[in-house]
Amino acid sequence: MASGVKPRVKVPKTAAAGSAVTLKTLISHKMESGRRKDKQGNVIPRSIIHRFTCEFNGAMVLDVAMEPAISTNPYFEFEATVPEAGDFKFTWYDDDGSVYDTSKSIKIA
Amino acid sequence: MNKLTSTNTLVALALAGGVVFGGAALADVDGVLTINGELEIVTKTTPPAHLADNLDEIVSGWVYRAAETQELQMDDFDNPGMLFVDIAQDDWGTVEGTEGKSCATCHDNVEDSMAGVRAVYPKWNDEAEEVRTLAMQINSCRTERMGAEPLKITKGKMARMEALISVQSRGMPMNVAIDGPVQAMWEQGKEMYYTRTGQLELSCANCHEDSYGLHIRSDFLSQGQTNGFPVYRLKNAKLTTAHGRFKGCVRDTRAETYKPGSAAFNALELYVASRGNGLSVEGPSVRN
């Protein structure tokens, strides 16, 4: 299992109903591409986050397939419209089968 | 794409012609650095008394960076240096060495115990009767109290521990003592700062006192202040310590460099830190 993996998200605490908010997410992960070799010439096995999703109250906001060329600590910044108060749920899927998730609530101001 | 190409050509022409843009091409010289929308950072102020004859103003290196680099430091979520602070937070509570201690065993909560520490280092240590840099103090704790191996001065583990300690003093003014028992070492550092070295015969002052704000190739020279150290550098995507940066600078004068952690660099660190007295601690800052 990849070590030092920690998801981070930044979601505003409040938003006006129907407005778009900016969400920032980052997961610390080494994103080993599977194309590098170690000192002995052996291929270092691929170990990346291959999928990232964001859901709002169960509805899919963003579903991203990620490939080996993506750098260490993948960062996504995107906008989402907030129709009502609720929870954003962010999920990252690791090659090794681990699933990391975190949630943030947002209120209507 | 056409637009990009033509801009590059213009820059190349300007360089070939030896034109220096001065302030015009600076991103945002009058920008104000506020971190997380609440912590105000002093990036320009009057110089300390010992510098009053040499500089009109002391300026943080943040001012000389491009707008997008400046923005990275305005929000801890965007500042990649904070990732290393997070890792160091785990190191803080990790037991290492023969004594079964972690940093937290003695110093408890880093937010409280390390507040203000970064602003006054390098600092005289009465017991050891020597000037100690933050790195020396960290290693003294490790070897004497924890029974652990010292950390390598410019490596990642040291840099991130310095970052964790720095962040507790962010926004506080640099306030390094230069008199009393540290004076001799401070004078030695000053001597180094103004002495030309290397095949290019450059002193620190030639670039960072006489020429700050001007181009060095396509980059801007800063005053070489250390208030932002350790810095996250975009060029190598990791934290750089003051000694690591000194080494790079001295190398660029085409001189044999001093060793990071050497007495010479410790003296230089003390002197350079004192040139920034009054600027806010920024570490970990973001530079290119």
Give the three-class secondary structure for B57.
Answer: coil
Is the pLDDT at B132 greater than 70? The verdict is yes
- Please report the pLDDT score of residue A3 as a whole number: 74
Is the pLDDT at B25 greater than 50? The verdict is no
Instruction: Classify residue B221 by its DSSP letter.
Output: -
Kindly give the pairing relationship between strand B285-287 and strand B231-233: parallel
Is the pLDDT at B7 greater than 50? The verdict is no
Name the nearest CA neighbour of B192 among B255, B277, B149. Answer: B255
Name the nearest CA neighbour of A4 among A52, A47, A63, A68. Answer: A47
- In a mutagenesis test of the B interface, which of A3, A5, A8 is the best target, namely the one with the most B β-carbons within 10 Å? A8
Q: What is the pLDDT of residues B172-183, one digit of tens each?
A: 999 999 999 999
- Please report the pLDDT score of residue A2 as a whole number: 63
Please indicate if any CB of chain A lies within 8 Å of the CB of B37.
no
Q: What is the pLDDT of residues B35-54, one digit of tens each?
A: 988 999 999 999 999 999 99
- Please report the pLDDT score of residue B29 as a whole number: 66
- Domain residue spans in chain A? 6-34+45-108
Please indicate if any CB of chain B lies within 8 Å of the CB of A28.
yes
Give yes or no for a contact between B58 and B46, defined as CB atoms under 8 angstroms apart.
yes
Q: What value does the mean pLDDT take over residues B87-114?
A: 95
Q: How far is A9 from chain B (nearest CA, A)?
A: 8
Q: Please name the member of A10, A24, A73 whose beta carbon is closest to the beta carbon of B83.
A: A73
Q: Is the dihedral of CA A64, A70, A74, A76 positive or negative?
A: negative
* pLDDT confidence bin for A69, thresholds 50/70/90: very high
Kindly report the pTM of this predicted structure.
Answer: 0.86
Is the pLDDT at B28 greater than 80? The verdict is no
Interchain proximity B77–A26, CB inside 8 Å: yes
Residues of A in contact with B80 (CB under 8 A): 73
Residue type, A82: V
* Residues B113-131 as b or e (16 or more Cβ within 10 Å = b): bbeebbbbbbbbeeeeebb
Provide the mean pLDDT of chain B: 90
Query: Is B249 part of the annotated catalytic residue set?
Result: yes
Q: What value does the mean pLDDT take over residues B130-159?
A: 96
Of A1-5, A43-47, B21-25, B81-85, least confident by mean pLDDT is B21-25
- Domain A6-34+45-108 belongs to what topology? Immunoglobulin-like (2.60.40)
* Nearest residue in A to B78, CA atom: A24
**CA distances (Å), origin A15, targets A12, B136, B180, B229:** 7, 48, 56, 36
* Nearest residue in B to A8, CA atom: B77
Which residues sit opposite A63 in a β-bridge?
Answer: A53
Of A97-101, B25-29, B150-154, least confident by mean pLDDT is B25-29
